[in-house]
Amino acid sequence: MTTYGTVAVIIYLLLSPVIACTLSGVDRVVTARMQGRRGPKLMQPWYDLVKLFSKETTSVNDIQKILVMAHCFFAIFSGAIFFAGGDVMLVLFALTMSEVFLILAAYSVNAAYSEIGAQRELLQMMAYEPMTLLTAVGFYLATGSFKVDKIISTDLPLIIKMPGFFIGFCFVLVVKLRKSPFDLSTSHHANQEIIKGLTGDLSGPVYGFSELAELYEEVLMLGIVGLFFMTKEPVSLLWAFIAIAVVMFCMSLIDNIFPRVKWEALLKAAWLVTFFAGGANLVILSLAERM
């Protein structure tokens, strides 16, 4: 690991919760303004997270705690690989393992709403996994490597070669981050917190670890968005931040405009976008490699 990679991993491990909580706070404020409300404080998500860890440790069974901790570990581990300049494919596999452990934790409590949430989370994984894996393949075809440090050393931003992959990835990012209209398994909105679905039977520090994992996941996924704009030129970092800000605003706008859809519409929309946006871009890159 290079010195740059070591510094990036340390920053990721230490600051990701604060960064993600701040971004979540901005999203809540923007949402409130869109709805004509004042909204919560900017750092309210951070206060909520700290409060969870200050509560008494409770869980339905011991296996639930182990599975949630494994979920959190693999979420952090996947991001550490990414910011260390590691293999994008390995990052996505580790992130999938993280989601699998969360689903198993929901199934382990033998509760109706948690099981329904777990089933819906599996459907969401079926929706976004093809596009995320296809994006990793796109990075390889465009640069000849799965390594992040190689991908960001290009002369031109990959958005030029991979516009279809970028569109497809941003679309499934809404699914991955459980934003409306694709928040089938669980919701971040207060009016739906009585029945949380996937995380309905988590509480206290156990719930806190699941929220912490989600914060690290958010930073990782936004980092992949920035990867489309990063080059060996330092100024590209600014363009990456601008792109991330635009994508986050668009997700917040979509979150407040569209109502939740049924799972059939979720799979249909995600697979169509994967096929036409990602698939078309894949064909173009493959033909370019042969010429």
> What are the pLDDT digits (tens) for 196-243?
677 877 888 988 999 999 999 999 999 999 999 999 998 999 999 999
pLDDT band at 252, cuts 50/70/90?
A: confident
Residue 224 near residue 169 (C-beta atoms within 8 A): yes
* Domain with 221 in it: 3-290
If one counts the domains in the chain, the total is 1
What confidence score (pLDDT) does residue 192 get?
A: 52
What confidence score (pLDDT) does residue 66 get?
A: 92
Q: Is residue 157 within a helix (H) or strand (E), and if so which, with residue range?
A: none
Rounded to an integer, the average pLDDT of 130-138 is 94
Continuous H helices in the chain: 3-34, 44-54, 62-83, 88-108, 112-143, 148-151, 163-176, 204-227, 236-257, 263-273, 279-290
pLDDT band at 195, cuts 50/70/90?
A: low
Which of 42-56, 174-188, 215-229 is predicted most confidently?
A: 215-229
Q: Read off the pTM.
A: 0.92
The whole-angstrom distance between residue 157's C-alpha and the CA centroid of its chain comes to: 22
The count of other CB atoms within 10 Å of the CB of residue 48 is 14
Non-local (6+) Cβ contacts of 20 within 8 A are: 45, 214, 215, 216, 218, 219
For residues 169 and 51, what is the distance between their CA atoms, to the nearest angstrom?
33
- Using the structure block, give the residue that is written with the tokens 């996937």: 198
What confidence score (pLDDT) does residue 181 get?
A: 85
For residues 217 and 96, what is the distance between their CA atoms, to the nearest angstrom?
11
Residue 151 near residue 145 (C-beta atoms within 8 A): yes
What confidence score (pLDDT) does residue 188 get?
A: 67
Residue 95 near residue 220 (C-beta atoms within 8 A): yes
Backbone angles phi, psi at 87, to 5 degrees: -75, 125
For residues 171 and 98, what is the distance between their CA atoms, to the nearest angstrom?
21
What confidence score (pLDDT) does residue 238 get?
A: 94
What confidence score (pLDDT) does residue 220 get?
A: 95
For residues 171 and 53, what is the distance between their CA atoms, to the nearest angstrom?
33
- For residue 156, pLDDT over 60 is answered with yes
Average model confidence (pLDDT) across the chain: 88
For residues 132 and 67, what is the distance between their CA atoms, to the nearest angstrom?
24
pLDDT band at 186, cuts 50/70/90?
A: confident
Q: Regarding predicted confidence, which is higher, 288 or 29?
A: 29
For residues 111 and 202, what is the distance between their CA atoms, to the nearest angstrom?
11
